[in-house]
Amino acid sequence: MIEMKHIAKAFDGKAVLTDFSLTLTDGITCLMAPSGRGKTTLLRILLGLETPDAGEITGKPDRVAVLFQEDRLMESLTVGMNLRLALGRAYDAVKAEACLAALGMPGSLRLTVSTLSGGMKRRAALARALLYPAPLLVLDEPFQGLDEDTRRLAIAAVRQSAQGRAALVVTHDAQDVALLGGKLVTLQEG
Amino acid sequence: MNNKAFTKENLWRVAAVLFWLLVWQAAAALLRQPLLLSSPVRVLRRLFALLGQASTYGALGYSLSRIALGFLTGFALGALLAVLAARWRPVEYLIRPLMLTVKSVPVASFIILALVFLTSRKLNSFISFLMVLPIVYGNLLEGLKSKSRQLDEMARMYHVSRLRRLICIELPQLKPALLSAVSLALGMSWKSGIAAEVIGIPMGSVGERLYQAKVYLDTSELYAWTLAILLISMLIEKGLMALMKGAYARLERL
């Protein structure tokens, strides 16, 4: 169980998060909030990339599988190389191919990232997070830029990958939340 | 670019070179003063004659080895300083005046100043080192500064090892800066190294041969050596760039 307790963060005197608490247990937790309400700051604090002004996080595992808002892939490398780079010894070409196939892009391990469409890059980055063996999965708007069919495939893949581990999925689409299931947390202003 | 367009562009390039060679030949024929302006045919003949002499290769070997030493040490120190400056801002402030001075002072001033404390045999290495240092430092520092923070964070989150980060994330991002630094620095080191030899006149160097040709008003030989210097500079640049691109391709497959 991962707990964020009374987290507060301000930038240049402007409060972004005030007294925010969240408990993550196994399964999916969806975080919904309009733009500019501190979702990214909250995730960065959870990931240890930002220090909160107040509050604490307990139970955070050493390894976190993360999909950032940006794809953060190496454009000059193939999809397979990107996966191998992140997964290291945990990389398994058969599992990687199966995961990509589940996301609607079979046979794409050898494709160079720079040649992919925006939606394919998003799914390649999502595959990286889903395949990474970590007790916590953090996905920031994982379905952005995906069409209806691939979105449904991606949601199914996320549901499957979240079994047996905690997953925090940030989205602003109520339909995604309904399809993902799990808990819903909303972030109010401040 | 398709093959047809590529061939057409190459034809234009060759035609442009031929045009200027013809202009040169015509000017030499009109002037009829080989001492002032040697014709391209005479220069080519002299160049082939030079290629048949063992001393030519001795001079080229002498100059190339010493200039390469200056290039490599300048490259290594420039890269090291760029890494330090990118990591610690005070280092960048400390180094900046030094690099600005090296870039702004004319190379001839450095050559004459260096002759006060260096023998002429060490001059070409030192001057090419000095010319390469700010080019490599400046290019690599810019490259390091424009590195993606987002990819660094990704690597951190996924516990990517330091070696893999270097090979798969950092070096590919530095590729344009590195290639541009090598291309610029190579030309500068070769030209400035030869200039240092012409002023310092170390025995058995290309610079000495150029100086001798000038002293004896042997214009054809002067032009032939100049042409040889140009051709070698082009060959080294093309060769090294191909080598680096090949190394990058291999790195990306690791």
Percent of chain B with pLDDT over 70: 96
Contact indicator for B167, B251 with CB cutoff of 8 Å: yes
Q: Does position B126 have pLDDT exceeding 80, yes or no?
A: yes
Q: Identify the closest residue of chain B to A136 by CA–CA distance.
A: B157
Q: What predicted TM-score, i.e. pTM, was given to this entire model? A: 0.79
Gap between the Cα atoms of B220 and B38, Å rounded: 6
What value does the mean pLDDT take over residues B197-202?
92
- Residue B81: predicted pLDDT: 97
Determine the Cα–Cα distance for residues B166 and A9; give it in Å rounded to an integer.
33
Q: Is A72 on the interface with B (CB under 8 A)?
A: yes
Burial bucket for residue A132 (CB in 10 Å: 0-12, 13-18, 19+): buried
Residues of A in contact with B252 (CB under 8 A): 76-77, 81
Buried-exposed string A152-162: b where 16+ CB fall within 10 A, e elsewhere:
ebbbebbbebb
Identify the pLDDT of residue A183. 87
Q: Where in chain B are the domains?
A: 53-253
pLDDT (tens digit per residue) in B26-43: 999 998 888 888 899 999
CB distance B67 to B124 below 8 Å? yes
Distance CA A186, CA B7 (A): 63
Which residue in B153, B157, B164 is closest to A85 by CB distance? B164
Write the ipTM: 0.91
pLDDT, mean over chain B: 91
pLDDT at A188: 67
- pLDDT at res. B3: 65
A55 sits in the region (left: phi over 0; alpha: psi -120 to 50; else beta) called: left
Asked if A23 and A163 count as a contact pair (C-beta separation under 8 A), the reply is: no
- As a whole number of Å, the end-to-end CA separation of chain A is 25
pLDDT band at B4 (very low <50, low <70, confident <90, very high): low
Are the beta carbons of A85 and B150 separated by less than 8 Å? no
Q: Is the pLDDT of residue A190 over 70?
A: no
Domain containing A33 — which CATH number? 3.40.50.300
Structural domain count, chain A: 1
- Number of other residues whose CB lies within 10 A of the CB of residue B82: 26
Domain that holds residue A41: 2-186
Closest by Cα among B88, B136, B107, B125 to B202: B125
Give the 3-state DSSP-derived string for chain A, with helices as H, strands as E and coil as C: CEEEEEEEEEECCEEEEEEEEEEECCEEEEEECCCCCCHHHHHHHHHCCCCCCEEEEECCCCCEEEECCCCCCCCCCEHHHHHHHHHHHHCCHHHHHHHHHHCCCCCCCCCEHHHCCHHHHHHHHHHHHHHCCCCEEEEECCCCCCCHHHHHHHHHHHHHHCCCCEEEEEECCHHHHHHHCCEEEECCCC
pLDDT for res B5? 67
pLDDT band at B89 (very low <50, low <70, confident <90, very high): very high
> Class assignment of domain B53-253?
mainly alpha
3-state secondary structure of B99: helix
Q: List CB contacts (< 8 A) between A124 and chain B.
A: none
Residues B152-187 have pLDDT tens digits of 999 999 999 998 898 889 988 999 999 999 999 998
Nearest-angstrom CA–CA distance, A102 and A155: 10
Q: Among A72, A77, A87, whose Cβ lies nearest the Cβ of B168?
A: A77
Name the band, by pLDDT with cuts 50, 70 and 90, for residue B246: confident
Q: Which of B154, B159, B252 sits opposite A68 (nearest CB)?
A: B154
Write the pLDDT tens digit of every residue in A23-78: 998 999 999 887 777 888 899 999 999 999 999 999 889 999 999 999 999 998 89
In angstroms, the CA B240 to CA B254 distance is: 21
pLDDT, tens digit (0-9, with 9 covering 90-100), for A124-170: 999 999 999 999 999 999 998 899 899 999 999 999 999 989 999 99
* pLDDT tens per residue, range A86-134: 999 999 999 999 999 999 999 999 999 999 999 999 999 999 999 999 9
CB B59 within 8 A of CB B121: no
